[in-house]
Structure 1
Amino acid sequence: MKRLYLVIIGDMVHSRKQTERSGIQNKFHTALGYTALKFADAVVSPPTLTIGDEFQAVLPPDGPLFDMLACFEFSMNYLPFRYGIGLGEISTRLNREAAIGMDGPAFYNARDALETARHNGFLYHFKGPTTPRTETVNLLLHWMSLERASWKLLKKKAYYLHGRALRQKDIAERLGITQPAVSKMIGTPGVHLFRQSLAHVEQLIGAMT
């Protein structure tokens, strides 16, 4: 059985409408570099700027997909991105220095998934084997897309910092808000279900190999 890989293509939403393009590009490069360094031991090919406002990364199927994206998004101060996630083979030689110069079904699936996400307004979409697991993954990803769309910036930051095991008091101090406000943000059923869904998606994808 041939080895499968997880390819992620991230695309900045409405990038041409963003003001201060040069500043955003600098932040983009910095965020990718920081994320690549932090997850160097966990990826096959690090997050790499490709064309325009897109980046690619290659992970093992059981890699830290959402931890990596969360780190990148926090570094970008949550400028909106959408993601195509593809599972499949890579038919060319692996490039472990940068996620470029490779080809194969994993990349085709990620590109198709990104186009589906773009067409339907989803944050995430996945394409892999045609199995009930894939359908379940996308049901969860689409729900996660809708849930995350309702979160304001401070809630996204509080969620991320809580996931890094910071205490509510420390999160409040870092964000300049009260501890009860943090508790209210991260204590909702939607937030708990989002975190559980995220973990379940990673388990389902990892089980497809």
Structure 2
Amino acid sequence: MQYYALVGDLRQSRQSPDRKALQELLLDTLRELNGRYEQHMAAFLMVNAGDAFQGLFFSSAPILEICDCIRYALSSKSGIRMGLGYGAIETAIDRKHSILADGPAFWNARNALQQVKKEDYYGTRTMAISLGENRYEYLQTLVTQVLVLQDLVASKWKNTQLELARHYLTSHGYKRVSQAQVAKEMNLSAQQVNNTVQAMGWFAFLDTRKETEQVMQRILGGIES
């Protein structure tokens, strides 16, 4: 059986003016996602060091959506780096303690995280993926370039733009909802949301993300279109 392993850490967390609050935000975020996406998890997301975390997911999971929920929940406090690996697990899996699991999925995830650190595109890169097997080489190349380009786009977002991304993803994931609904939820005017969405290229970003994830689910997770 094949899985997605996710490993990540926070950028420069030791320089945070309130590291305790940052760690609490990370813990709260992972706890919330463990509840929301429980059916997709082979082993829950957990903190395995002060600013590092990991989790294990079934191959049919909406994995990019989950990664984005982590990223943008923390975006007001810290940057993030994540490595996503696909492959087998060679040990027993304890659902409550993903740190006990190991195998190619985690080896690939750690390699992907090192790739983020090695080729960070002037600090804009947040995520890399390693699918391991040669037969997925073209898929990995394509997904990698999508992630790199979208990281570059998102690196330009500030303030209200980041808040909109955070709210949208934590409330709706990749589901399409109207700007009017978002405006009501965020207590903003329709014009404010429209201006923000256009400046971000938000729905183009979201649709590309969703389509990329669906391709991954069809090829790796066996989900029919």
TM-score, with length taken from structure 2? 0.82
Aligned residue runs from structure 1 range 56-135, under 5 A: 56-76=54-74, 78=76, 79-121=78-120, 122-128=125-131, 129-130=133-134, 131-135=137-141
For residues 164 and 32 of structure 2, what CA distance do their matches in structure 1 show? 20
CA shift for structure 1 position 11: 1.1
Which 4+ runs in 1 deviate beyond 6 A?
none
Deviation digits for residues 22-67 of structure 1 (CA, Å, limit 9, x no counterpart) = 1111222122111112211221111110123111011112202133
Q: In 2 relative to 1, CA 150–40 (structure 1 residues): closer, same or farther, beyond 3 Å? A: same
What secondary structure sits across from 2:61 in the alignment? coil
Aligned residue runs from structure 1 range 1-209, under 5 A: 3-76=1-74, 78=76, 79-121=78-120, 122-128=125-131, 129-130=133-134, 131-162=137-168, 164=172, 167-187=178-198, 190-206=201-217, 207-208=219-220
Aligned 8 A contact 2:43 2:96 in 1: yes
For residues 49 and 7 of structure 1, what CA distance do their matches in structure 2 show? 14
RMSD: 2.2
Aligned 8 A contact 1:154 1:175 in 2: no
Deviation digits for residues 120-143 of structure 1 (CA, Å, limit 9, x no counterpart) = 221110011332111101011111
For residues 34 and 134 of structure 1, what CA distance do their matches in structure 2 show? 29
Moved more, 185-194 or 6-15: 185-194
Q: In 2 relative to 1, CA 41–93 (structure 1 residues): closer, same or farther, beyond 3 Å? A: same
Aligned 8 A contact 1:92 1:103 in 2: yes
Deviation digits for residues 162-195 of structure 1 (CA, Å, limit 9, x no counterpart) = 4525543453355454321211222458323322
Aligned 8 A contact 1:62 1:203 in 2: no
Aligned 8 A contact 1:159 1:186 in 2: no
For residues 115 and 50 of structure 2, what CA distance do their matches in structure 1 show? 19
Moved more, 143-152 or 61-70: 61-70
For residues 188 and 19 of structure 1, what CA distance do their matches in structure 2 show? 30
Q: Which runs of 5+ in 2 are unaligned?
A: none
CA shift for structure 1 position 9: 1.0
Identity, % of aligned pairs? Answer: 21
What secondary structure sits across from 2:39 in the alignment? coil
TM-score, with length taken from structure 1? 0.88
For residues 22 and 155 of structure 1, what CA distance do their matches in structure 2 show? 26
Q: How many residues align?
A: 207
For residues 199 and 107 of structure 1, what CA distance do their matches in structure 2 show? 24
Aligned 8 A contact 2:88 2:104 in 1: yes
